[in-house]
Amino acid sequence: MIGTIINSVTIILASVAGLLIGSRLDENLRASLMRALGLVVVLIGLTMALKTEQIVLLTLSILIGTAFGEIIGIERRLENFGLRVERRFEGSRFAEGFVTSTLLFCVGSMAIIGPIQEGLTGDYSILLTKSMLDGVAAIALSSTLGIGVLFSSISVFLYQGFFTIFAVLTSGMIPEEIVTEITATGGLLIMAIGLRLMEIIDMKPGNMLPSLIISPLALYILEILY
């Protein structure tokens, strides 16, 4: 859980920085930092995606998973859930800061793919990059919403920790080739996040999440058949 611990500590430190100096940061600087980090996210995603040994399977998994996600509207449902929770705590500055930042840091593809990647392979590079993204966001949020943002680090630790532990417990049951394809599929989702951060295309990575299930399931079925 090294990646998740780093992520949580980064949010704490960035929140403190935001409380002290966040309001002095130029908005253009924040936007430039996010786009620069987006470029790094694309590179990480590309490195992961190139590990695939089943390009046709990867393509089908992404297409079918995205279609399924679009039909049920995963990203829209996540956004609506966030809006409902925020309205519930409207008026309490601490609660608003805590809830808003928790949703921002937890309701996203990297918060799921990152800890799963660490649990399966020990590689926490996704979570390191997420830590930097969350750090920039925490500075901005805490400068306006207060100390509640700092306490969202607890939510991040528990949420991402769950996925890491789950991945660790199941990793011994998953063949190496399936882990490879999960990694490659996750890489494409990470690339989508990076391109979105760079404001190149407006993709919805949340709707692509079913691909992470379809990819290993399809490979498992193929292994049984052949």
Structure tokens at 31: 């936007």
* d(C-alpha 78, C-alpha 206), whole Å: 8
Structure tokens at 50: 């190139």
User: What is the total count of domains within the chain?
Assistant: 1
From first to last of its 226 residues, the chain has per-residue pLDDT tens of 899 999 999 999 999 998 888 667 677 877 787 788 788 888 888 988 898 888 988 899 999 999 999 999 888 887 777 677 667 766 667 777 787 788 778 867 788 889 998 998 899 988 998 999 899 889 888 887 788 889 999 989 999 999 999 999 987 777 788 888 888 888 888 888 888 878 888 788 888 889 888 888 888 787 777 6
* d(C-alpha 35, C-alpha 12), whole Å: 22
Q: What angle do CA 144, 148, 153 make, to 5 degrees?
A: 115
Structure tokens at 155: 């939510």
* d(C-alpha 206, C-alpha 134), whole Å: 17
* d(C-alpha 200, C-alpha 30), whole Å: 17
* d(C-alpha 76, C-alpha 39), whole Å: 25
Radius of gyration of the chain (CA): 18
Residue 148: half-sphere exposure toward Cβ, Cα within 13 Å: 17
Tell me the residue range of the domain where 26 lies.
2-225
pTM attached to this predicted model: 0.75
Q: Any residues with CB less than 8 A from the CB of 60 and at least 6 apart, and which?
A: 214, 218
* d(C-alpha 47, C-alpha 115), whole Å: 17
